[in-house]
Amino acid sequence: MKKILVVDDDRAIRDLLKEKLENSKYAVITASSGEEALAICKDSPVDLILLDIAMPQMDGYQTCGKLREDHAACDMPVLFLTGKELAPEGVTEHCRNLGACGHISKLSTLKELLAKIEEII
């Protein structure tokens, strides 16, 4: 079973994604911050990290940068999640620069999210 780490500071989003992904036959771990995600990735490799961009203290971009510095986590695929209206070209450029697989809106349908996940893993 493929394992996904969902990182978001919003508990409702984490819980919703966890429920939907587990119903789609994925094992899911959640983290509420970039720091927590880094600690989890050191101890438990995952097949995909769904990473919120806008988080306090350490945002998704900073978290991804730190993951890329860690030899244990440097190859884990990252898909950024965003709930904000961001300039798509700016997000795409950040994704490319950080070696992420791309980004998807939190407003996407479950079908769209699952299709993107399948494409990556």
* CATH number of the domain that residue 94 is part of: 3.40.50.2300
Tell me which of 85 and 40 has the higher pLDDT.
Answer: 40
Q: Which residues pair with 7 in a beta bridge?
A: 31, 51
Q: How many angstroms separate the Cα of 53 from the Cα of each of 18, 62, 69, 80, 94?
A: 18, 9, 18, 6, 10
Q: How many angstroms separate the Cα of 61 from the Cα of each of 30, 51, 58, 114?
A: 18, 9, 8, 22
- Whether the pLDDT of residue 85 is over 70: the answer is no
Mean pLDDT of the region 79-84: 84
- What's at 102, amino acid-wise? G
Phi (first) and psi of residue 39, to 5 degrees: -65, -40
State the Cα–Cα distance between residues 111 and 18, nearest whole angstrom.
15
Which pLDDT belongs to residue 95? 75
Domain total of the chain:
1
Domain range for 79 is 3-120
- Whether the pLDDT of residue 86 is over 60: the answer is no
